[in-house]
Amino acid sequence: MSLPSVTTPSRLIHTLGALTLAALLSACGSSKPKPAPLESLGSSASVRLTPVWSARVGAAQPTFSIARTQDSLSFATADGDIVSLDIASGRERWRAQVKGALSAAVGSDGRYAAVVSDANELMVFDQGKLLWSERQPGRVLTSPVVAGERVFLQAVDRSVRAYDVLDGRWLWSYQRQGSEPLALASRAVIQPFRDTLLVGQGNRLVGLDPTKGTPRFDVNVGTPRGSNEVERLADLVGPMARVDDEACVRVFQFSVACLELNRGSVRWSRPQAGTQAVAADLNTVVGADGTDRLAAWKAENGEQLWRVDRFTNRGLSAPVIWGERIAVADADGYLHLLAKADGRTVGRHELDSPLAAPPVVAGDLLLLATRKGSLLALRAN
C-alpha cells in the first residue's frame, strides 16, 4: 500500500508539542507547587465503593484510554499486551501481544481492535488475531477509531487517515490547510457521531464524511489570543464528552465549549485555562483548570453552578459523571467522588497508582485503568 506524502514536518511538530507541554507545566518555576492536603471526610463520606472485579494487565502510558463497547472493554499496555474483558464479570475474552512498545492505545468496536507501535506501525486484530499492519509516516498518540468496518487514526501533525479494517486498504487522508504549525503532542479528538467522523484540527472541530474524507462542517471552537505560537496553541483535547446530539470539549489552555453537532455550531463557551478533557451529561458539564480548580456549568447555557479549590495542584485526571456523582482521580492515586449538585466530596477510594486513562462509566459500574496495570470495575453502595 502507498500513502500520499506528508507535507507537514510531523517529527518537528511532535517535538515542539512535547516541549511546549513541558514548558507550560514548568512555567511557574523549577519547583513543583505544593498540592492541597487531603480534606478530612468523616461523616461526609456517604458513598462507599465496592470492587466488582479487577485484573492485572501491565503498566500503561498516561495518554492511553479504555475502549468500551456495549458489553466489553479493551485495553493495551505500554509493552504491547492487548486484552479484551467482559464488562460485567471481568472475564478475559481474548489477548494479543505485539512486538515492541505502543505509542497509541487500543481502539475497538468489540470485534476488531487497532493499536499503533512506537515504530509507527498500525496493527489491526480480529478477536486477538493479527489481520494486517501498515507503517505510518508520522507519530500517533491517540487511540485509533474502529467503526463501520473502517479504521481511522490521527497523527500528531493532525493528519487523519482511513483504512479498510478487513484488508488494510488505504481509503483516504485529510489534513486541514491553514492551521497553526505547532501541534499538541497529547490525546486528540477523533470519534464517530452518527454517520460523521469528528476530528480536531487545532482549535477547530471538523466533521468528515467517513467514506470519502471530505468535510461536512468546520467550526471554530475558540480563538485564543497570543503573540507567539506557544500562546496560540489551542488544540481540542480528547475525548469529547458527547451527549446525544451535543458534545462538550476542552480547548487546550483556553476554554470549555459545548457544540450542537447536527448544526456544526458552538452553543456556548466559557474561559478556563485547563489541559484535561471535560465530562458532561444532559444537565452538567465539569472540568478542571490548570491548577486543578474544579468547576461545573449548566449544560444548557454555560451558567456556572459551582467551583471548588480544595484539589489545587493535586494533578487531577479528566473527570467523569457517574449518575449523581463526579469521579476524578489525582496524581497520588486517590479517586475522589463529588456530589454533582454542589461539588461537595462524598467519598474517596485509594488506588494502587494514578490513572493511565480517563475513567469510563458503563451502567452502574465505574471502569478504571491505573498506570501500574490494574483494570477494575467499581460499584457505589
For residue 381, the model assigns a pLDDT of: 84
DSSP 231: T
Rounded to an integer, what distance in angstroms lies between the CA atom of residue 169 and that of residue 132? 10
Rounded to an integer, what distance in angstroms lies between the CA atom of residue 156 and that of residue 181? 11
Stretch 293-307: mean pLDDT? 98
* Confidence band of 35 (pLDDT split at 50, 70, 90): very high
For residue 24, the model assigns a pLDDT of: 46
- Report if residue 258 sits inside a domain: yes
For residue 30, the model assigns a pLDDT of: 53
Cβ 290 vs Cβ 274: under 8 Å:
yes
For residue 7, the model assigns a pLDDT of: 33
For residue 4, the model assigns a pLDDT of: 31
* CATH code for the domain of 258: 2.130.10.10
- Report if residue 176 sits inside a domain: yes
Of 23-27, 104-108, 331-335, least confident by mean pLDDT is 23-27
For residue 14, the model assigns a pLDDT of: 38
The DSSP result for 209-224, as a single string, is: -TTT--EEEEEE----
372, with CB counted inside 10 A (0-12, 13-18, 19+), is: middle
Rounded to an integer, what distance in angstroms lies between the CA atom of residue 65 and that of residue 68? 9
- Report if residue 4 sits inside a domain: no
- Give the residue among 136, 171, 129 at the shortest CA–CA distance from 155: 136
CA distances from 361 to 69, 99, 244, 326 (A): 11, 31, 16, 11
- Report if residue 3 sits inside a domain: no
For residue 1, the model assigns a pLDDT of: 35
Of 2-16, 97-111, 293-307, least confident by mean pLDDT is 2-16
How many domains is the chain partitioned into structurally?
Answer: 1
Residue 174 has pLDDT above 60, yes or no: yes
Rounded to an integer, what distance in angstroms lies between the CA atom of residue 82 and that of residue 208? 29
* Confidence band of 123 (pLDDT split at 50, 70, 90): very high
Stretch 15-34: mean pLDDT? 51
Rg (CA), the chain: 20
Q: How many beta carbons lie within 10 A of that of residue 18, not counting itself?
A: 16
Rounded to an integer, what distance in angstroms lies between the CA atom of residue 1 and that of residue 148? 21
Cβ 196 vs Cβ 208: under 8 Å:
yes
Stretch 275-295: mean pLDDT? 97
Q: How many beta carbons lie within 10 A of that of residue 358, not counting itself?
A: 23
Rounded to an integer, what distance in angstroms lies between the CA atom of residue 359 and that of residue 380? 15
Name the residue type at position 354. Answer: P
Rounded to an integer, what distance in angstroms lies between the CA atom of residue 39 and that of residue 231? 35
- Cell numbers at 250, concatenated: 476542552
pTM for the whole structure = 0.89
Mean of pLDDT over the chain? 89
pLDDT by residue (tens digit) across 226-281? 778 887 788 999 999 999 999 999 999 899 999 999 999 999 999 999 999 999 99
Q: For residue 169, what are the domain limits?
A: 10-380
- Report if residue 1 sits inside a domain: no
- Report if residue 5 sits inside a domain: no
Cβ 246 vs Cβ 260: under 8 Å:
yes
- Report if residue 310 sits inside a domain: yes
Region for 276 from its dihedrals, namely left if φ exceeds 0, alpha if ψ lies in -120 to 50, beta otherwise: beta
- Report if residue 2 sits inside a domain: no
Helix (H, G, I), strand (E, B) or coil at 13: helix
pLDDT by residue (tens digit) across 180-239? 778 888 889 999 999 999 999 999 999 999 999 999 999 999 887 777 888 778 899 999
CA distances from 228 to 72, 237, 279, 334 (A): 45, 20, 30, 37
Residue 5 has pLDDT above 80, yes or no: no
Cell 485564543 belongs to: 224
